[in-house]
Amino acid sequence: MRFIVSLLFWGTLVGSAVPEVTAQTPTPDATPITIELGQRLTLSSDILGEDRQVFVRLPEGYSEEGNTSRYPVIYVLDGERHFNHASIGADILEENERMPESIIIALPNNRGTRRRDLAGSPDNFRRFIGEELFSYVDANYRTSGNKTLFGHSLAGKFTLSILAGHSDMFDNYIAASPAINTEDVANLDKFLSGTPALSKSVFFTQTSAAEERQSRWDAVEKVAAIFKEKAPATLKWRYDYIGDQVHMTTPMLTVYPGLSFVFSDYQVPNYLSTKAFDDAGGMSALTNFFTKRAAKYGTEDGLSQASLRMVASLYSREGMHDRAIELYQANVTKHPSRHRVYNSLGSGYYAAGQYGKAQEAYETAIKLTKEQNAPAWATNWYQRNLERLKEKMAE
């Protein structure tokens, strides 16, 4: 097996620069805005007997000095169509802790090879992924071993066929409007009937029968019924019907809930009150959650700064200010370079009526945003909090 690697920029044209406009003669600026999403490499496959392009998106901070973290990998089929929105979706979900920071590997189709790879000779394409692509990715990137496969239409059929025939290849399977037939239904039925224990996650979708074709729609409905009847308790699965869409729009609406679903055990529990928090096991249970998450995804052990802020805010809202401030201070001690933890500490002091300490915390948060070139929204937010505090102090 021989790999020829060339690193290129890959971007998406998302709009035009905002023009400078005069009242009399508007002059649009046609200069495009290009967002860099990742890199492109070329792999020479012995199994397929051809070169294949691969698009790679690395999570934010992957290349930072001293970072030794390992990351799950999401493999996206039909990469020329789905790399962009899968990458943008992952950015948003990661930022909001709906999924772990992940590497995206997208496989575009060579001209004229899509049907061959996904339906004509799928075993060769599967072997290329399992024997050549996996080897390259694991050797060249810091991977954790956790793998997800995403496919749409014919690639969704391929995704479910991997589940039925080679389920050990991936941990998670996401299929948007899979173009399956009665043979695929039978294979999945046989697989689920003969697999009493299966620790995987499966998410699939489709829209109306008129848009999907009646025979395909019926097949997906039958698969959903088979999962409901025969899926082992250890298998986490979900089927979503997406109304008011067409076959070609379902993958965009599958990425967000699909990734959120398969990574649901990564998501931090949320609570409406201190009673709900205590009833769920309190700090002990939350700490245990992070220990399990760290073991599975290689993330930081111990409570995250967002979770500490969340619990502290519960106590603050209910007037238990000493306990809230204790947690806010613990967050600052654990994450001394995070500007948001100082803003939260300031809000805790403000709620407790300790205005001098609140001002110091807000000013530290603002100082850090400037030193770190943080997004403008953060500086503006903290500045508004400081101004509100000063107005209160002047009363």
Q: What is the pLDDT of residues 339-358, one digit of tens each?
A: 999 999 999 999 999 999 99
Q: Based on the domain organization, do 261 and 293 belong to the same domain?
A: no
Could you say which of 241, 266, 291 is where a domain stops? 266
pLDDT-derived band at 18 (thresholds 50, 70, 90) equals very low
Q: Based on the domain organization, do 281 and 233 belong to the same domain?
A: no
Place of tokens 């920029």: 9
CB atoms within 10 A of CB 347: 23
**Residue-number span of the structural domain to which 373 is assigned:** 274-394
Q: Based on the domain organization, do 48 and 179 belong to the same domain?
A: yes
Mean pLDDT, rounded, for 183-190: 98
Is 109 a member of any domain?
Answer: yes
Alpha carbon 319 to its chain's center: 35
End-to-end Cα separation, the chain, in angstroms = 75
pLDDT over 70 at 298, yes or no: yes
Helix (H), strand (E) at residue 72: strand 71-77
pLDDT, position 7: 42
Is 368 a member of any domain?
Answer: yes
pLDDT over 60 at 78, yes or no: yes
pLDDT-derived band at 240 (thresholds 50, 70, 90) equals very high
Any idea which of 43-57, 176-190, 202-216, 293-307 has the lowest mean pLDDT? Answer: 293-307
The CATH number for 38's domain is: 3.40.50.1820
Could you say which of 218, 247, 266 is where a domain stops? 266
pLDDT, position 301: 78
Q: Based on the domain organization, do 350 and 225 belong to the same domain?
A: no
CB atoms within 10 A of CB 69: 16
Is 28 a member of any domain?
Answer: yes
Mean pLDDT, rounded, for 72-90: 96
Percentage with pLDDT > 70 across the chain: 91
Q: Which two tokens stand for residue 285?
A: 């249970």
Q: Based on the domain organization, do 241 and 278 belong to the same domain?
A: no
Q: Which two tokens stand for residue 192?
A: 């689920």
| Closest to 263 measured CA to CA, from 255, 271, 275 | 255
Is 2 a member of any domain?
Answer: no
CA distances from 318 to 271, 312, 315, 321 (A): 13, 10, 5, 8
The mean pLDDT value of the chain amounts to 91
Any idea which of 82-91, 290-299, 336-345 has the lowest mean pLDDT? Answer: 290-299
- Contact between 165 and 191 under an 8 Å Cβ cutoff? The reply is yes
Q: Based on the domain organization, do 41 and 157 belong to the same domain?
A: yes
pLDDT in tens, 127-142: 999 999 999 999 999 9
Q: Based on the domain organization, do 170 and 261 belong to the same domain?
A: yes
pLDDT in tens, 91-105: 999 988 899 999 999
Q: Is 147 helix (H, G, I), strand (E, B) or coil?
A: strand
Number of domains the chain is built from: 2
